[in-house]
Structure 1
Amino acid sequence: MDGEGFEDREIEEIRRRKLEELQKKAELERQAQIAAAQRRAALKQILTPEALARLDNIKVVRPELAEALEQQLISLAASGRVKVPIDDATLKKILESVYSQTRREYRFKL
């Protein structure tokens, strides 16, 4: 057995593993895109256009807050705990609630 055949098999194995990794990554990205599209479709049904615009603005500035808010909105609507469609004023109230839960408070003793 020569060294070249072994190296060729090793290179082919590395290529195969790399291809599998890329395929898995592409599948995860595709699933994330599908989930995001489903979440967006749900939010379009739950929110008025003004409230959706506010949520989009929040997403630009505080993506982690927007994600928490999206999850809470979908949960509230699914459980019937909020009247749909959610208008901008109601969204502001919900946002205050979510923001107060996610905000950290720091106190300094002087």
Structure 2
Amino acid sequence: MAEAEDRELEELRRKKLEELQKRAEAERQAQIAAAQRRAVLKRILTPEALARLDNIRVVRPDIVEALEQQLISLASSGRVKVPIDDETLKKILEAVYSQTRQEYRFRL
């Protein structure tokens, strides 16, 4: 009996350890991706635009990751002039905000 319980306990410990290792690896990968995204943003945004993006992160963290991906995509495809200054970022934000606002109205 004790051996069976010991095996079950050991199996539970092993599974928990695997789960923790997978979670730690996923968090590490997410941190690496965020650091890479931040490095690219520092290259394509002026300091003022980067500060505005950081302020948006505080107020609307739910949209910042998608916005960052969109900015990187716009810059890499050549659809906006690099570095993106604060005024250009404001225009992009207005376009994004008007789209989300229209979608919100449509849902009502």
Q: TM-score range by the shorter chain?
A: over 0.9
- Bigger share in helix: 2
Task: Give identity over the alignment, percent.
Answer: 79
Counterpart of 1:75, as a letter, is S
- In the TM superposition, structure 1's runs of 4+ consecutive aligned residues that sit over 6 Å from their partners are none
Q: What stretches of structure 2 of length at least 5 have no aligned partner?
A: none
2:26 is aligned to 28
Q: Which runs of 5+ in 1 are unaligned?
A: none
1:86-101 matches, cutoff 5 A? 86-101=84-99
Partner of 1:10 in structure 2?
8
What does residue range 67-106 of structure 1 map to in structure 2 within 5 Å?
Answer: 67-103=65-101, 104-105=104-105
- The alignment of Structure 1 onto Structure 2 pairs a total of residues equal to 106
Q: TM-score, normalised by structure 2?
A: 0.93
Matched residues in 1 for 2:56 and 2:12: separation? 43
Taking structure 1 as reference, are residues 31 and 8 closer, same or farther at Cα in structure 2, changes over 3 Å only?
Answer: same
1-structure distance, mates of 2:107, 2:7: 62
